[in-house]
Amino acid sequence: MDWFDEQIETARRTGTSSLNLTGIGLARLPGSLQSLTALARLDLGRNQLSALPEWLGSLTALTRLDLWGNQLTALPESLGNLTALTRLDLWGNQLTALPESLGNLTALTRLSLGGNQLTALPESLGNLTALTRLSLSANRLIQLPARLGNLTALTWLDLVGNRLSALPESLGNLTALTRLSLGRNQLSALPESLGNLTALTRIDLAGNQLSALPESLGNLKALTRIDLAGNQLSALPESLVGLLAGEHVASAPLQAWIDGTRTTVASPAALDAILEHVPPGGVGLSSVDSTCSLFISLSGNHSALMWEGDGDVMLSWGPPPPGAPPGLTVADLQDALSDPWFTTDDTEPMAITEEQARRAGHEFLRTGRRPANVQWIDKP
């Protein structure tokens, strides 16, 4: 009996609920797995599977199934029998289509389908109303089904790197979304209904063909980050300009950290007093609840900022040129160097003046948001 058979036999004998077969070079699933009817979790990631047997649908106790990093080109209809599944990971396969039976998996809360070759989605996807996270990045999708708007529990939707030229109005039904990633598609316009997504904190629209944005985006008052790099925008809606400038957020005290010593900063005068005596190591400003912070280094025309918040760490790039959206962000250095709003003839990249750095500190004190008077890139 080889190692694999021993694993199966031990799992069968003990009635184990979890089996990890990640990265062992499996090219097919042996029939002996059928006997493990008590399995709740099965990890088959990073193997060489090109097909799945129909009997996989008999493992109805499964709540989590990992099949990422294989060579699957299709899924069996019997997958729809696994109605207890809450997590299904199919990232990094070669899937070109999905079975309609996928819509039977109504207990799913997380579904990862990124890195495949999907050109369309089944209508039955709209049945998965318990989903909170759905990843469809790096596929070949050219449109989305209107029933995607049924997935009203979604908090995270990733559609980066597809071929979408339009979005359904029903996307505006996803009012629980906090993160929406639509970068690197072919979008030339956005539906007004996006303004309904008032829980959004982050939206990525970089690398599309947008020449205008809907006024309704000004309703997204919870936004902390919007990425618009690599589009064809010449102006922003007034409602969005005001939002990004932080006009809708009340001021709150900050905590200032200098050489390990904490000071409460509750007024512009108090902040000025601190900034007048910034040591070479800089000063850190953080919100009272420590959810976001701004590090300020003052050094004449070579001053700098670093922002941490909402899982991001970003560096200041430079002041926005005329016409650029305030607080513009890009994902990396290459994007910044290729974007006309980030590269100007008379501005050294990443250089901000001491005055701009001070102004950023005051904006953070006033709004509680990432300052919009400079541009930002993700820290490498």
Query: pLDDT (tens digit, 9 = 90+) per residue, 18-77?
Result: 999 999 999 999 888 998 889 999 999 999 999 999 999 999 999 999 999 999 999 999
In sequence order, the β-bridge partners of residue 265 are 254
Task: Reduce the DSSP state of residue 306 to 3 states and report it.
Answer: strand
More confident residue, 210 or 346: 210
- For residue 343, pLDDT over 70 is answered with no
Amino acid at 45: G
pLDDT band at 366 (very low <50, low <70, confident <90, very high): confident
Which residue ranges does the chain devote to CATH 3.80.10.10? 50-244
Question: What is the torsion angle, in degrees rounded to the nearest 10, for the CA atoms of residue 184, residue 185, residue 188 and residue 189?
Answer: -100
Token pair, residue 323, equals: 């016409």
pTM of the model: 0.70
Token pair, residue 155, equals: 């908090």
In sequence order, the β-bridge partners of residue 378 are 314
- What single DSSP character describes residue 352? B
In this predicted structure, what is the pLDDT of residue 232?
Answer: 87
Mean pLDDT of 201-220: 91
Contact by Cβ (8 Å): 31, 8: no
Q: What percent of the chain has pLDDT over 90?
A: 51
In this predicted structure, what is the pLDDT of residue 341?
Answer: 65
256 backbone dihedrals φ, ψ, rounded to 5°: -105, 135
140-191: per-residue pLDDT in tens?
999 999 999 999 999 999 999 999 999 999 999 999 999 999 988 999 999 9
Amino acid at 267: S
Contact by Cβ (8 Å): 352, 279: no
Contact by Cβ (8 Å): 245, 236: no
β-strand pairing of 312-318 with 304-309: antiparallel
Helices (H), the chain: 3-14, 238-244, 268-275, 333-338, 354-367
Does the domain spanning 50-244 belong to CATH 2.60.40.10?
no
- For all residues of the chain together, what is the average pLDDT? 87
In this predicted structure, what is the pLDDT of residue 249?
Answer: 40
In this predicted structure, what is the pLDDT of residue 71?
Answer: 96
Strands (DSSP E) found in the chain: 18-20, 41-43, 64-66, 87-89, 110-112, 133-135, 156-158, 179-181, 202-204, 225-227, 254-258, 261-265, 283-287, 292-297, 304-309, 312-318, 329-330, 375-378
Question: From CA 178, how far away is CA 53, in angstroms rounded?
Answer: 37
Transcribe 206-223 into DSSP letters. -SS--S---GGGGG-TT-
- What single DSSP character describes residue 45? -
Contact by Cβ (8 Å): 266, 253: yes
More confident residue, 267 or 187: 187
Mean pLDDT of 248-256: 62
- For residue 245, pLDDT over 70 is answered with no
Contact by Cβ (8 Å): 184, 161: yes
